[in-house]
Chains A and B, each alone.
Chain A
Amino acid sequence: MFTIRKKEVLANNIYLMDIEAPRVAKSCYPGQFIIVKMDEKGERIPLTVCDYDREAGTVTIVFQVVGASTERMAAYEVGDTFRDFSGPLGCKSELIDEDPEVLKKKKILFVAGGVGTAPVYPQVKWMHEQGYDVDCIIGARNKDLIILEDAMKKVAKNVYVATDDGSYGFKGNVNDKIKDLVNNEGKQYDQVIAIGPVIMMKFVCILTKELGIPTIVSMNPIMVDGTGMCGACRLTVGGEVKFACVDGPEFDGHLVDFDESMKRQQMYKTEEGRALLRQREGATHKNGGCGCGGDH
């Protein structure tokens, strides 16, 4: 059993939790993920490591309510336990093992989209602890969905906030902000690390390819075991099939087949919707009373 030590609401439907998991806390690195299974009947949910405290033995996760499982998870409180918490899984960020001399000279821009700010944070924090300055764009649809801004400001040299509707910070999406920095503020970057919704990562990669900036993305496909035994998380990178759980989740964004990945993410879309409906309204749809023929 893994106890929840802290719970915070970061934004509407976005939650942060510190979980007591000494083995994971001891060995995890930025870029890696964990799998949580709430209880006996729960599914295995992959979540990126957002922070860790090796001494306290805790790991921080951030999740957004997107379906029945995450909605159920959001109802857990401090002191409650998760049945399973497995990890760390996947490869650590390449930055961790890069030659310090090379890294010192690199100008790095992190691009965080929505809840993707959570996996960006530990990387920026790690860079800060090693003494490297990096810039970071945090983007979201509106002001209410911006998370971890204060935490990020403590570890990044420059934090730029962008909202689609202009309700806070720069008006426009993260791509508009990248263009603004490069074209109007004379910024030059040698490396972009973009983490967020697949559609955002796709468009960031189209732009950075034009700009000639190598770009790393963190993919978030459907997973089951997270240890390489099933291939549910497979994706195509540079024409080759890779398993995100063991070969990634970070890949060269200019080589990823985003369209295929987006289609694969939809595979259980109706199932998720069904599960949510079942939870909220019971099995009222079985008889097709709503006109759906009992299919939903």
Chain B
Amino acid sequence: MDMLTRIPVREQEPKVRATNFEEVCLGYNQEEAQMEATRCLKCKNPRCQQGCPVSIDIPGFIRQVEEGNIEEAYHVISMYSALPAVCGRVCPQESQCEAKCVRGVKGDAVSIGKLERFVADWARENNIKPKAAETLNGKKVAVIGSGPAGLTCAGDLAKLGYEVHIFEALHEAGGVLSYGIPEFRLPKQTVVQSEIENVKALGVKIETNVVIGKSTTVDQLMDEEGFDAVFIGSGAGLPKFMGIAGENANGVFSANEYLTRNNLMKAFDETYDTPIVGGKKVAVVGGGNVAMDAARTALRLGAEVHIVYRRSEAELPARVEEVHHAKEEGIIFDLLTNPKEILVDDNGWVKGMKCVKMELGEADASGRRRPVEVPGSEFELELDTVIMSLGTSPNPLISSTTHGLDTNKYRCIVADEEHGKTSKEGVYAGGDAVTGAATVILAMGAGKAAAKGIDEYLTNK
């Protein structure tokens, strides 16, 4: 075998997968995983581990894979991560662990993500569960939000012997893993559900349908329900719109709505009650991972789909792998293009979008070249559906109903990076609620740090 080249991973054919919601990437089998594991140099000072926000002992688990001890590999990963089957699938490894891999200097980096995924999937198929704490320490912690940050924080605290209750506003746990990331990237029933079951197996209780700030408040949890500390991992779920004319027309959706209908409510499945307007010709405005997810979802619902993005391909914030998949499936990229107005018919439905061509000008404060309009280049796209995927910001519901909790000008909760400590005693926060929309693994890292912070706080109290 060529040690410079990674073992390829099997995938569904683009033409086939564009018509179904089955997972695109099929993952390694054991033979492939063991072969790929032999490419790891087992560095003494592994740089890959520094690239991982939860510092998984990567050479440690890969060594076990190479030797065929998959259960042992799973226990190594479990010491660091509560959601390996998720992270192996959705982490941007190319800019994290794999970006630092020495193999990547000359040739392909080791496929760390795909190996992690293999180990986690194997553990699920062989019913290997993480181990719960043997005794409880008598202290109670409330975790708000059951997304990656909350699940990680809850799992870590439960392992330390805390009684942990997660409060979730929606009817299913998982946060963005359940409502945001589509089935074809992250299967719900097998992967997400079983990772949540693993967290429950650690003793964590999950109460759904509780909207903190409405059903009860952080202050009430501490004063009336006897929680010794609270972790806020409520994410950044508030969608942004452009503020252009026609945006309230029928057929204009936020990516959050479109994806929630399809992923959480399973609108693509006829046996579920929630409807979706799939569209025949769809434009998705934006260039992030959420835009790719929305576009590929619309494609699977039978539409011709355009990504409309104001910068060029090099600036697309989405993962390279996702852009590649989207292109293979037939998504059309209208780059350096910006919407000016949504055109509406007499019944209030979208009939098109007026756009303008852009060119890249001077670099702005963030270092990215700012797109500027090309005068006189306006044109119309004929459409029946527009999906706005312009990013999200934190919902102020919790911060505005909690006494003494500071937020910044972006409505993000202010918390220190090391331990997630907020301005309010006993209250910790992490993930998108603190940073604004970021990645699953960064949220997990923040949940982990906060669990450590909460443990230190309650131990010394």
Residues of A within 8 A of B (CB): 23-24, 26-27, 32, 37, 41-44, 68-69, 83-89, 224-225, 227-232, 234-236, 241, 246, 260, 263-264, 266-268, 271-272, 275
B375-430 residues at the A interface, CB under 8 angstroms: 392, 395, 397
B261 interfacial by beta-carbon distance below 8 Å = yes
Chain A residue with the shortest CB-CB distance to B261: A224
Q: Which of B127-135, B207-215, B282-290 contacts A (4 or more CB under 8 A)?
A: B207-215
CA distance A69 to B265 in the complex (A): 14
Chain A residue with the shortest CB-CB distance to B272: A41
B437 interfacial by beta-carbon distance below 8 Å = no
Given contacts A224-B261, A230-B239, A236-B248, 4 further A-B contacts (CB under 8 A): A23-B215, A24-B215, A43-B265, A43-B272
B330 interfacial by beta-carbon distance below 8 Å = no
* Residues B171 and A89 in contact, CB atoms below 8 Å apart: no
Task: Select one of B247, B256, B273 contacting A229, CB under 8 A.
Answer: B256
B247-263 residues at the A interface, CB under 8 angstroms: 247-248, 250-251, 253-254, 256-257, 260-261
3 smallest beta-carbon distances between A and B, as pairs: A263-B348, A271-B275, A230-B257
CA distance A229 to B254 in the complex (A): 9
* Residues A85 and B209 in contact, CB atoms below 8 Å apart: yes
Task: Select one of B216, B271, B273 contacting A27, CB under 8 A.
Answer: B216
Chain B interface mostly? loop
CA distance A232 to B248 in the complex (A): 9
* Residues A263 and B250 in contact, CB atoms below 8 Å apart: yes
CA distance A41 to B210 in the complex (A): 20
**Per-position binary interface string of chain B over residues 213-256, scored 1 when its CB falls under 8 Å from any chain A CB and 0 otherwise:** 01110000000000000000000011101010001101101101
Distance in angstroms from A207 CB to nearest chain B CB is: 25
CA distance A287 to B347 in the complex (A): 28
* Residues B247 and A275 in contact, CB atoms below 8 Å apart: no
* Residues B265 and A228 in contact, CB atoms below 8 Å apart: no
CA distance A228 to B80 in the complex (A): 33
**Per-position binary interface string of chain B over residues 347-369, scored 1 when its CB falls under 8 Å from any chain A CB and 0 otherwise:** 11000000000000000000000
Chain B residue with the shortest CB-CB distance to A261: B248
* Residues A83 and B171 in contact, CB atoms below 8 Å apart: yes
Chain A positions within 8 Å of B250 at CB level:
263-264, 266-267
Given A41-B273, A44-B171, A234-B248, A87 and B214 touching (CB < 8 A)?
A: yes
Which of B209, B210, B239, B265 neighbours the largest number of chain A CB atoms within 10 Å of its CB?
Answer: B209
Distance in angstroms from B388 CB to nearest chain A CB is: 8
CA distance A41 to B274 in the complex (A): 8
15 pairs across A/B with beta carbons < 8 Å? A41-B266, A84-B208, A86-B211, A224-B257, A224-B261, A224-B274, A227-B211, A227-B395, A228-B238, A229-B239, A229-B256, A230-B260, A236-B248, A241-B243, A275-B273
Distance in angstroms from A294 CB to nearest chain B CB is: 14
Distance in angstroms from B183 CB to nearest chain A CB is: 16
* Residues B395 and A37 in contact, CB atoms below 8 Å apart: no
* Residues B171 and A229 in contact, CB atoms below 8 Å apart: no
Given A68-B273, A231-B239, A264-B248, A23 and B395 touching (CB < 8 A)?
A: no
Given A227-B169, A271-B275, A260 and B248 touching (CB < 8 A)?
A: yes
Chain B positions within 8 Å of A89 at CB level:
211, 214
Chain B positions within 8 Å of A37 at CB level:
171
Distance in angstroms from B393 CB to nearest chain A CB is: 11
Chain B positions within 8 Å of A246 at CB level:
395, 397
Question: How many B residues face the partner with a CB closer than 8 A?
Answer: 38
Chain B positions within 8 Å of A44 at CB level:
171, 265, 274
CA distance A127 to B241 in the complex (A): 38
Which of A83, A264, A267 neighbours the largest number of chain B CB atoms within 10 Å of its CB?
Answer: A267
Residues of B within 8 A of A (CB): 169-171, 208-211, 214-216, 237-239, 241, 243, 247-248, 250-251, 253-254, 256-257, 260-261, 265-266, 271-275, 277, 347-348, 392, 395, 397
Chain B positions within 8 Å of A225 at CB level:
169-170, 260
Chain A positions within 8 Å of B395 at CB level:
227-229, 246
Task: Select one of B208, B210, B397 contacting A228, CB under 8 A.
Answer: B397
Chain A positions within 8 Å of B274 at CB level:
43-44, 224
Chain B positions within 8 Å of A83 at CB level:
171
Chain A positions within 8 Å of B260 at CB level:
224-225, 229-230
Chain A positions within 8 Å of B265 at CB level:
43-44, 224
CA distance A26 to B215 in the complex (A): 8
Chain A positions within 8 Å of B241 at CB level:
231, 234, 241
Distance in angstroms from B142 CB to nearest chain A CB is: 14
Chain B residue with the shortest CB-CB distance to A274: B275
Chain B positions within 8 Å of A23 at CB level:
210, 215-216
Chain A positions within 8 Å of B271 at CB level:
41
Chain A positions within 8 Å of B251 at CB level:
267
Chain B positions within 8 Å of A24 at CB level:
215
* Residues A235 and B248 in contact, CB atoms below 8 Å apart: yes
Distance in angstroms from A240 CB to nearest chain B CB is: 10
* Residues A231 and B257 in contact, CB atoms below 8 Å apart: yes
* Residues A241 and B247 in contact, CB atoms below 8 Å apart: yes
Distance in angstroms from B188 CB to nearest chain A CB is: 12
Chain A residue with the shortest CB-CB distance to B275: A271
Chain B residue with the shortest CB-CB distance to A68: B273
Chain B positions within 8 Å of A271 at CB level:
275, 277
Task: Select one of B169, B211, B256 contacting A230, CB under 8 A.
Answer: B256
* Residues B215 and A88 in contact, CB atoms below 8 Å apart: yes
Which of B169, B216, B237, B392 neighbours the largest number of chain A CB atoms within 10 Å of its CB?
Answer: B169
Distance in angstroms from A185 CB to nearest chain B CB is: 40
CA distance A63 to B383 in the complex (A): 36
CA distance A144 to B257 in the complex (A): 38
Task: Select one of B170, B214, B248 contacting A241, CB under 8 A.
Answer: B248
* Residues B209 and A227 in contact, CB atoms below 8 Å apart: no
Distance in angstroms from B279 CB to nearest chain A CB is: 12
Distance in angstroms from B439 CB to nearest chain A CB is: 18
Distance in angstroms from B265 CB to nearest chain A CB is: 6
Chain A residue with the shortest CB-CB distance to B220: A27
Chain B residue with the shortest CB-CB distance to A34: B209
Chain B residue with the shortest CB-CB distance to A243: B238
CA distance A57 to B92 in the complex (A): 46
Distance in angstroms from A239 CB to nearest chain B CB is: 11
* Residues A87 and B397 in contact, CB atoms below 8 Å apart: no
Chain A positions within 8 Å of B273 at CB level:
41-43, 68-69, 275
